[in-house]
Structure 1
Amino acid sequence: MSTFQRILMATDLDEPSEAAAHTAASLARSLRAELAFVHIFAPPATIYSAYPDFTSLLPVEEVQTAAARALEAWLTRIEAPSQAKRLLHPGEPAQTILEVAESFSANLIVVGTHGRRGVSRALLGSTAEKLVRLSPVPVLTVREQPTPQ
Structure 2
Amino acid sequence: MYQRILVPVDGSDTSNQALTVAIGLAQAFHGRLRLIHVVAEMGYSTGLEPYGGYSGGLVQAIREAGSRVLADGMALARAADVEADSVLFDEFGGRLGETVADAATEWKADLVVVGTHGRRGLGRLLLGSGAEQIIRLAPVHVLAIRGTSATGEG
Q: Structure 2-normalised TM-score?
A: 0.77
Please point out which of 99, 102, 115 is paired with 2:105. Answer: 102
Question: What residue in structure 2 maps to residue 51 of structure 1?
Answer: none
How far is 1:88 from its partner?
1.0
Question: What residue in structure 2 maps to residue 123 of structure 1?
Answer: 126
Query: Structure 2: 5+ residue runs without aligned partners?
Result: 44-49
CA-based RMSD of the aligned residues comes to 2.3
How far is 1:68 from its partner?
0.9
Q: Does the 8 Å contact 1:46/1:55 carry over to 2? A: no
Query: Structure 1: 5+ residue runs without aligned partners?
Result: 49-53
How far is 1:111 from its partner?
0.2
Return closer, same or farther for 1:17/1:66 CA change in 2, 3 Å cut-off.
Answer: closer
Number of aligned residue pairs: 137
Structure 1 moving runs of 4+ over 6 Å: none
Q: Which moved more, 1:66-75 or 1:7-16?
A: 66-75
Q: Structure 1-normalised TM-score?
A: 0.79
For the residue of structure 1 that corresponds to 2:89, the secondary structure is strand
Question: What residue in structure 2 maps to residue 5 of structure 1?
Answer: 3
Percent identical residues? 35
How far is 1:41 from its partner?
1.6
Question: What residue in structure 2 maps to residue 27 of structure 1?
Answer: 25
Matched, 1:47 2:52: yes
For the residue of structure 2 that corresponds to 1:80, the secondary structure is helix
Question: What residue in structure 2 maps to residue 90 of structure 1?
Answer: 90
Question: What residue in structure 1 maps to residue 115 of structure 2?
Answer: 112
Q: Does the 8 Å contact 2:115/2:144 carry over to 1? A: yes
